[in-house]
Amino acid sequence: MGAPKAITATAHKIAQIFYKLWVTGGNYSDPGMDYYEQKYHEQILQHLTHRAAALGLELVPIEQQPAENNPSVPAPAT
């Protein structure tokens, strides 16, 4: 990306936050890392879904099993 673009992107983000606070007169509350991780996960899933559809495929979620019942996960050493 490069330093100049990163600086510009950071300045833009700060300007957006400032403008939102100025217009609404509210307080800024950081949504936290979990919010950003969830948003990133949703973006990746949406991207993969569109790519799969373009290839004529469909994504099917895998059911999560507990580690103790899943033979592919090694049991912890005792």
- What is the mean pLDDT of the segment spanning 39-52? 97
70 pLDDT tier (thresholds 50, 70, 90): low
| % of the chain surpassing 70 pLDDT | 81
Q: What is the pTM of this model?
A: 0.49
d(CA 36, CA 42): 10
DSSP 8-state code for residue 14: H
d(CA 73, CA 62): 15
**What would the DSSP string read from start to end of 31-57?**
--HHHHHHHHHHHHHHHHHHHHHHTT-
Angle among Cα 64, 67, 72 to the nearest 5 degrees reads 90
Mean of per-residue pLDDT scores for the chain: 86
Q: Supply the pLDDT for residue 51.
A: 97
- What is the mean pLDDT of the segment spanning 44-63? 94
